[in-house]
Chains A and B, each alone.
Chain A
Amino acid sequence: EAQVTQNPRYLITVTGKKLTVTCSQNMNHEYMSWYRQDPGLGLRQIYYSMNVEVTDKGDVPEGYKVSRKEKRNFPLILESPSPNQTSLYFCASSPSQVSYEQYFGPGTRLTVT
């Protein structure tokens, strides 16, 4: 089944403790991205990747890192999480460019205390 998977789905952590949210897609998509969703603010793009080893900042990249060493994986790294990073995070992929429909993962609900 074609899909985007994220792990973990739920995470509660403490301020400053490094964490990684994994994202994987099995559709051989070139374009992948991370979004965060907050009430009243909609979805905002954090980082995106046009292809392996090519990443770029989205709208709200501060406090996040990403890497794209393999085509299928695009992990999101929070080196020192803070409470304002408490949010619902979505990974998405599309065939080649952002101009194609995005396939979204199920989401990761992160709480930083």
Chain B
Amino acid sequence: SQQGEEDPQALSIQEGENATMNCSYKTSINNLQWYRQNSGRGLVHLILIRSNEREKHSGRLRVTLDTSKKSSSLLITASRAADTASYFCATVETGANNLFFGTGTRLTVIP
């Protein structure tokens, strides 16, 4: 019962361009989180947005949440080669105690 699905599965851009990844989910949620994973390594938390929030910023990251459409987007501005990684959204269903991850977007930033 995987909650999140990311789109696109893979994204390749030039350094300096913006990267946008989308996440769709199925049920009502408590919050939605975005994580980053460098190849084969542990995930690193990027940002958390609660169900009553619509937009959140952290440095070059901007996350939006549309609970009516059950979707979220992660925008990385002015991308760098070091941003090359996989990005996952994860959701906590309302009233639940577990976290569901999507299958991820593989971002490649070309120097």
Binding site for B on A (CB under 8 A): 4, 33, 35, 40-45, 48, 50, 56, 58-59, 88, 90, 92, 97-107, 109
Contact = CB atoms under 8 A, between A and B. Distances in A.
Interface in B77-111: 88, 90, 92, 96-104
Nearest to A88: B40
Contacts of A100: 48
Contacts of A92: 43
A4 to B, nearest CB: 8
Interface string B21-62: 000000000110101000011111100100000000000000
Given A45-B100, A59-B1, 8 more contacts: A35-B101, A42-B101, A48-B97, A48-B98, A56-B98, A97-B97, A106-B42, A109-B40
A90 B97 contact: no
- Which 8 pairs of residues, A with B, have the shortest CB-CB distance? A104-B42, A101-B45, A42-B103, A43-B101, A104-B43, A42-B101, A106-B42, A98-B99
6 contacts: A35-B101, A42-B2, A42-B102, A56-B97, A90-B42, A102-B45
Contact of A105 (B40, B42, B88, B99): B42
A99 B42 CA distance: 19
Contacts of A59: 1-2, 98, 100
